[in-house]
Amino acid sequence: MRQERDSSEGVEAQARPTDANGEEVKAAKGDPVPPRKRRWRLSRRGFLIGVGAAAAGVAVGAYFGRPVLHEIMAESMAGAEHGASGFMQLPSEPPLWLEVMEDSRIRLSLTKVEMGQGVHTSIAQIAAEELGIGWEDLVVEQADTSSDLVDSFGTGGSFSVATSYGPLRLAAAGMRSLLRREAAAVLKEPEAALRVEGRGFVVADSPEKRADFYSLVGAITSWDLPEEEELRLKHADEFDVIGQSVARVDIPDKVTGQAVYGYDMRVPNMLYGAVARPPTLEAKLVSASAGEAAGMEGVEEIVIDVDSGFAGVVANSRSAAWSAVKAMETEWDEGHLWQQEEIEALIEPDGEGGITIQREGNAAGVLGKETPITATYRSPFAVQAPLEAPAALADVQDGQVTVWVSTQSQERAKGLIAEAFGVEADTVRVVPTYLGGGFGSKLDTGVAIEAARLSEAVGAPVHVGWDRVEAMLHGYLRPPTKSVLSGALDGNGRIIAMEHRQGSSDVAFSFMPDFMELVMGADFGATIGARISYDVPNRTVTAWRKTLPVWTGWWRGLGLFANTFAVESFVDELAEAAGADPLQFRLDHLPDSPAGGRMGAVLEAVAELSGWGNAPPAGRARGIACFASNTVVAQVAEVSVDAESGEITVHDVACAVDCGLVVNPDGAKAQIEGNVMWGVGSTLIEQAYVKDGRLALNNFESYPLLTMGDAPNVRSVLVDTGIKTPYGMGEPPIGPVGAAVANAFTAATGRRIRTLPMTPARVLDALA
């Protein structure tokens, strides 16, 4: 735990840039001194929580058959959405998280990366709370893969705060207990007589008697850590850091220009790389040669491996590398030239391969005896479009691979780099930088492998930074979806049966071993939000996984946005058929359970916030939608429609969220605002499509995003229903946006649009 590094650094430690001469702009910290291993007992219960869901699912599936296994796994993953307790556990050993610095501040190492979502701040609040120290006495540092603090999942899924909360509280409480015990021995006072003050302990009745943290660490030769159950964690009523809106720890470096992103990374004597890209979705490299690139100024190396489909250039500047790779002679087999209509025909929720992920009663039997209400909803491909394109700097020297990269999962990057080079993982070090946005796109590590291949070939550090067109065309997309919903009402206007048939391509399965399909059945990333949360006695949800020629994967909220658009729009259609107010219809169908109580709380809160039940301003209408997982969200959108231009204007979005324990209210509300903005843009304008075997994308002129001029007013309220653990906030608020806007459009016009985005052309068609 003793720290020998320089302690003069600021709050947030990251790799530092160099100037044009290779000199560091600001002195970087030295390499960490590995902490001594300490004894820390992981309880049997903690171990069982970590593996229980999957192990139980496999056991039950083996006993009852694969369909039952798939339903159990789907239910288990639905419970894990956005940070259920016990899922993706991190270690709770204090030495892995915390170090005492020479000036007695405490350094917190985090595996979760900061990509603008403020997660370093929220997690740091958890540590500061249990340590009992002041906010200014905690230093936050990004861990890399040389740390023993291993995080195999990475940063995504809205899991970061939720999964760090329990282990980090234990680690911090353990550190506090260890230091208090030593302070009691040094000061010759009982532990109960001590309190934390500043950067050490003082005797409560004699504050002149103190022992600073660093002096305590230096005096300890061995540690005997208490059992987890012996630690006294603070009660929520005692919190004075958790629950407060504190200053973001990453802001000072960002506003002073010291923050280092993947695109910013520089080391002395580095070069720049670029890689030839396939011209179509199915293109395979047939041949390649240097061509005119060989004689171009600044070119250092041409790297060609046709068997692996790789052709690249190393040059002394980025512009030279980009120019040279375009001058190479490459021949490609373009494969089938797909059209959008062909792809849409593949997304059909029917035929073989459907996996039932929710089943109550006999929906098919009831619907077969009734005249059901049916509707079909579609959503398109979508791009993550982070501000920073993929970028990595690699240095392959003497059998060691070091990569600095904008990544959401350093451990995944480490494993894939080791696999690509056929080396042991412990010879690879991945250092995450700040991310200029991620939204799921930077769980891919292709750019890191490209940089490492070029570095190995030239024997020098090489930086590869994609341009915007590369990022648009050669990353993965949010998959398109098709949802067919059916429902039936009884004579009292209650839903007696509901069925959801959902088709999509891969989200999570794009990044998982093939055997996971056998265990899980449905891709939990594609099906999030597809389940029916209301009290319907007969309900079935079945998902079809479709293979597409387009690489699809993580996107903010995974399948949540598209699936909630379908389900919550259809709930409004059922409410209309029942002649019921959409809000009251939802309240009348809530399950009699704690989950139903939480749904009711957010629905009532958003109704009050939005003025539901009162007449909206002239020319406007309101729509409501809800999503329930561990985090529960309800939204009301207020819109107007220009019948001549077909333009929909979203004026206001009210949002109520129950995300359990709120660690940082300001951060939580910022996440709500970001989700709503993106959700409105995806509802109205965002779409990608395929033409002649290529994605019809170039830059933001072909893929517009919501502008500030079109941004709605966003109002939010955080609802406290007594949950004492935090759940996810990075993605859940995007879920209801599309449905709330679509339902408001119907309230305004009496017509319904069931295909996203709701472009002016689709609006005019609906109004015709």
Q: What percent of the chain has pLDDT over 70?
A: 89
Which 8-state DSSP code applies to residue 31? Answer: P
pLDDT tens digits, residue range 665-677?
999 999 999 999 9
Question: 412 and 443: one domain?
Answer: yes
Question: 545 and 442: one domain?
Answer: no
Short-list 576, 591, 495, CA closest to 539: 495
pLDDT class of 12 with cuts at 50, 70, 90: very low
Question: 378 and 410: one domain?
Answer: no
pLDDT class of 61 with cuts at 50, 70, 90: very low
pTM of the model: 0.90
Q: How much is the pLDDT for 66? A: 63
Tell me how crowded residue 355 is: count the other CB atoms within 10 A of its CB.
22
Task: Over range 444-450, report the average pLDDT.
Answer: 94
pLDDT at residue 79 above 80?
Answer: no
Q: How much is the pLDDT for 514? A: 85
Question: 313 and 351: one domain?
Answer: no
pLDDT, the chain, mean: 90
Residue finishing a domain among 419, 436, 465: 465
pLDDT class of 223 with cuts at 50, 70, 90: low
Question: 579 and 648: one domain?
Answer: yes
The dihedrals phi and psi of 419, each to the nearest 5 degrees, come to -65, -45
Q: How much is the pLDDT for 11? A: 34
Task: Over range 59-72, report the average pLDDT.
Answer: 57
Question: 552 and 645: one domain?
Answer: yes
**Residue 708 belongs to a domain with what CATH number?**
3.30.365.10
Higher pLDDT, 49 or 727: 727
Q: How much is the pLDDT for 76? A: 65
Tell me how crowded residue 645 is: count the other CB atoms within 10 A of its CB.
10
Q: How much is the pLDDT for 93? A: 87
pLDDT at residue 175 above 50?
Answer: yes
pLDDT at residue 6 above 70?
Answer: no
pLDDT at residue 536 above 80?
Answer: yes
Q: How much is the pLDDT for 47? A: 28
What lies within 8 Å, CB to CB, of 381 at 6+ separation is: 477, 478, 479, 480, 550, 552, 687, 688, 689, 690, 695
**CA atoms of 317 and 270, how far apart (whole Å):** 9
Q: How much is the pLDDT for 24? A: 39
Structural domain of residue 283, as residue ranges?
262-335+390-465
pLDDT tens digits, residue range 127-160?
999 999 999 999 999 999 999 898 888 999 899 9
Range with lowest mean pLDDT among 18-27, 230-239, 280-289, 391-400: 18-27
> Which tokens is 594 given?
């704690």
Q: Is residue 551 part of a domain?
A: yes
pLDDT class of 176 with cuts at 50, 70, 90: very high
Q: Is residue 455 part of a domain?
A: yes
Question: 493 and 401: one domain?
Answer: no
Residue finishing a domain among 443, 465, 487: 465
pLDDT at residue 117 above 70?
Answer: yes
pLDDT tens digits, residue range 344-370?
999 999 999 999 999 999 999 999 999
Question: 645 and 508: one domain?
Answer: yes
Q: Which residues pair with 200 in a beta bridge?
A: 197, 212
Q: Is residue 78 part of a domain?
A: no
Q: Is residue 256 part of a domain?
A: no
Question: 369 and 507: one domain?
Answer: yes
Question: 573 and 667: one domain?
Answer: yes
Question: 492 and 618: one domain?
Answer: yes
Range with lowest mean pLDDT among 25-39, 249-263, 499-513: 25-39
Residue finishing a domain among 420, 443, 465: 465
Q: How much is the pLDDT for 26? A: 38
Q: Is residue 488 part of a domain?
A: yes
The dihedrals phi and psi of 246, each to the nearest 5 degrees, come to -100, 165
Strands annotated E in 290-399 = 299-305, 310-315, 329-333, 355-360, 373-379, 391-397
Max CA separation in the chain (angstroms): 85
Q: Is residue 489 part of a domain?
A: yes
pLDDT tens digits, residue range 509-526?
999 888 888 888 899 999
Q: How much is the pLDDT for 81? A: 62
Contact 657, 666 (CB under 8 A): no
pLDDT class of 89 with cuts at 50, 70, 90: low
**CA atoms of 447 and 57, how far apart (whole Å):** 36
pLDDT at residue 412 above 90?
Answer: yes
pLDDT at residue 172 above 70?
Answer: yes
Q: How much is the pLDDT for 68? A: 67
Q: What percent of the chain has pLDDT over 90?
A: 82
pLDDT tens digits, residue range 612-631?
999 999 999 999 999 999 99
Q: Is residue 760 part of a domain?
A: yes
Q: Is residue 147 part of a domain?
A: no
Quote the number of domains for the chain.
2
pLDDT tens digits, residue range 581-596?
999 999 999 999 999 9
Whether the CA torsion 608, 611, 613, 614 is positive or negative: it is positive
Question: 692 and 735: one domain?
Answer: yes
Contact 103, 144 (CB under 8 A): no
3-state SS assignment for residue 442: helix
pLDDT at residue 469 above 90?
Answer: yes
